[in-house]
Structure 1
């Protein structure tokens, strides 16, 4: 089976970003498939091109059997100009396929948001190739912006995006959602539930079992060798609600008489400078902000910490669930986790031994102070966390789930084509 995946922001583990489609592709290749990922060579995290294009608008690279087609899309430094890169990716995808891969047969094409123009490009290419089309909705556009108060539901842009979303639902052979309750969201748009597959983000467990040491990570932790470390990894944006992290660090700072607890925030994002400034204004010396690290270095980075942290914004959006890469990384690393949020939002995580959920900052502060002096409890928590991720969110499990759907659809399509030929011959 020849599979193409269109994801504007797809990256490899040697880069600083999520590797959902890299991991999925590796699994599909192990089942005998050929996989190509069409992605932008411009990093929205590092604000630079990761590939030298010279005179071409694309470069082809083989990474562990996966064919990456790196497209040269419009660069941007601010979110206000980011939309130009969306249209650039859309145009470059279609042009490159027509010019370079026009004669290649494709069985199945996946069009993956963050933004819907990537999925729309994939749909149009699937029509050219007469391929099965899957629409993967990783973020709910425009529902995310409405629930975050960025745009009104009746705005003309909202109506356009809702229309495009429904168009992609109807035209896809299957719709993939990442959030556990997003199946109900798609159903609420009048779509048959049987067309919807729930495939959350997952984790490569082998990367954590056979983690590679890193001198740069060792250097990062040199100043914290005697500290009880609480780590956050990922984006620093509105949805990440990291003002709570600063407030928690302040509470711990006031209560930590031994001064041995330290917070580490690793990543990038539009609010990072503001967060650094807030911590400085509070004169906090127990929190450090560092630049993003490569995905391949995340397992070793997390092995240096004692606890992990995540905040979830109290927003109507999360009634559909969530699927954040960092969650599965924290679980695979066996790191006891602070979930700074309303417990009603987090479902299964309320039941996991080693996950501490609360929107009361004092409760979380006391849990951190307690665990820092009862570290003998950490191995018990780690075992429960690792068991949870191994039985639900390994890419071996998730990859097999989507592979079976693909095989089923290929068989159905083959039957339909054969029936069509028979009817044509009868006429």
Structure 2
């Protein structure tokens, strides 16, 4: 029985929710005969709570055949210095404790958000003399540079880039979650064709996805009591965070251009720091065709999306580099709902274009978004149903049964690389 360790600082929420990328990978792998352990922090990132560790540096628990190692970390709130300490303590206590677990893995996957999870994976793999797989779910430190938190040409920026290169050089395989992320290595001229060290053959693309079995179960078993979902109107739905990067104000602006269409309503599900601004915009424009619905449980999202007529991917074009694709979880939930999708940003490697399941606006304006909404609204039944079918077909290609088979291909690659 092959043993796999997946290091993901924030996977503690997956233990609670019994869902998410690495939980679904682990569940599939256990069914295929692997032993899987997920390594995460004991401190929850999005709430002031933790898994209690009575003594020592870690605690092990098992759920549905998946082992979870909770690493003792300092409390973190927000995105400031405490969060950095939280990351450092996770790395330090993981490195101090893993030898005590009494087991040796066959493969290690170190998964970002932050790079110390990948560094730990590489160092532990060297100790055990086994393959190391680094999973890059967000290009780092590029994301930090794009938010202008650190300048790329600063001393710290150069050190971070050097660390990133070290991770890529010392990984037996690299998994990117966006199709175009390997382009980044070529842009940096780190690839062998450019006379540098990284073999692009060790780079793999496994996007985020959706567990269609659980999604369909939630549609049936977790209905959401909302009268706006049950009428015959054309329901345009956004489900997600209300943050500047999500640029949800564009949806409010689009609602202005749709006033005269009495049976179109825009429903926004989610919460975040932009909520007050959005409420004020709705009042300022005196709109009654758009509603902020507030927080809803993740388990209710499949039902909400299933009742929609059209789903909106809404982002800021300027606050993120979209040229390499999209790996947002909501994209695949939207696909699973079998409804058309509109994106208000133009993306490289666009899955909406590839699967012909939606449209992209010409620019990032509310007027352009309204025009694309009307394009779907005015489709005849046959055209609309085709978009729906294509959306669900796309979801099938990103079901975790399919994605786990891709992950097994990575295992085979690194095994052959070591002559196994």
Q: Which moved more, 1:377-386 or 1:199-208?
A: 377-386
Q: Pick the aligned partner of 1:396 from 391, 396, 401.
A: 401
Asked if 1:173 is matched to 2:206, the reply is no
Equivalent residue for 2:359? 356
Equivalent residue for 1:69? 69
CA distance in 1, matches of 2:300, 2:224: 11
Asked if 1:262 is matched to 2:263, the reply is no
- Structure-2 change in CA distance of 1:238 and 1:122 (3 Å): farther
Asked if 1:340 is matched to 2:344, the reply is yes
Q: Which moved more, 1:163-172 or 1:316-325?
A: 316-325
Q: Please, which runs of 5 or more residues in structure 1 have no aligned partner?
A: 416-427
Q: Which moved more, 1:314-323 or 1:173-182?
A: 314-323
SS of 1:261's partner is strand
Equivalent residue for 1:321? 325
Q: How does 1:264-283 map to 2 (within 5 A)?
A: 264-266=268-270, 268-283=271-286
Q: How does 1:161-310 map to 2 (within 5 A)?
A: 161-187=160-186, 188-190=189-191, 191-211=198-218, 213-214=220-221, 217-219=223-225, 221-222=226-227, 224-226=229-231, 227-252=233-258, 254-256=259-261, 258=262, 260-266=264-270, 268-285=271-288, 286-294=290-298, 296-310=299-313
RMSD: 2.8
2:208 and 2:328 in contact (8 A); partners too: yes
Paired residues in the alignment total 404
- Structure-2 change in CA distance of 1:88 and 1:214 (3 Å): farther
2:251 and 2:366 in contact (8 A); partners too: no
Q: How does 1:74-113 map to 2 (within 5 A)?
A: 74-81=74-81, 82-98=83-99, 100-101=100-101, 103-113=102-112
SS of 1:49's partner is coil
Q: Which moved more, 1:380-389 or 1:316-325?
A: 316-325
Equivalent residue for 2:45? 44
CA distance in 1, matches of 2:3, 2:406: 18
- Structure-2 change in CA distance of 1:131 and 1:53 (3 Å): same
Q: Which moved more, 1:106-115 or 1:200-209?
A: 200-209
- Structure-2 change in CA distance of 1:292 and 1:126 (3 Å): farther
SS of 2:164's partner is helix
SS of 1:162's partner is helix
1:373 Cα offset (Å): 6.8
Equivalent residue for 2:22? 21
Q: Which moved more, 1:396-405 or 1:227-236?
A: 227-236
Q: Please, which runs of 5 or more residues in structure 2 have no aligned partner?
A: 192-197
- Structure-2 change in CA distance of 1:236 and 1:409 (3 Å): same
2:246 and 2:314 in contact (8 A); partners too: yes
SS of 1:109's partner is strand
- Structure-2 change in CA distance of 1:371 and 1:60 (3 Å): same
Q: Deviations over 1:255-302 (max 9, x none)?
A: 33x265132222x445445444544554444221422523x4432232
1:7 Cα offset (Å): 0.7
SS of 2:156's partner is helix
1:381 Cα offset (Å): 2.0
Q: Deviations over 1:303-331 (max 9, x none)?
A: 23222111243247222222111111101
Asked if 1:365 is matched to 2:373, the reply is no
Q: Deviations over 1:55-76 (max 9, x none)?
A: 5653323222211222343333
SS of 2:268's partner is strand
CA distance in 2, matches of 1:78, 1:282: 33
1:386 Cα offset (Å): 0.9
Q: Deviations over 1:355-390 (max 9, x none)?
A: 121025334314434645768454332111111221
TM-score, L = length of structure 2: 0.86
- Structure-2 change in CA distance of 1:232 and 1:84 (3 Å): farther
Equivalent residue for 2:418? 413
Displacement over 6 Å in runs of 4+ = none
SS of 2:224's partner is helix
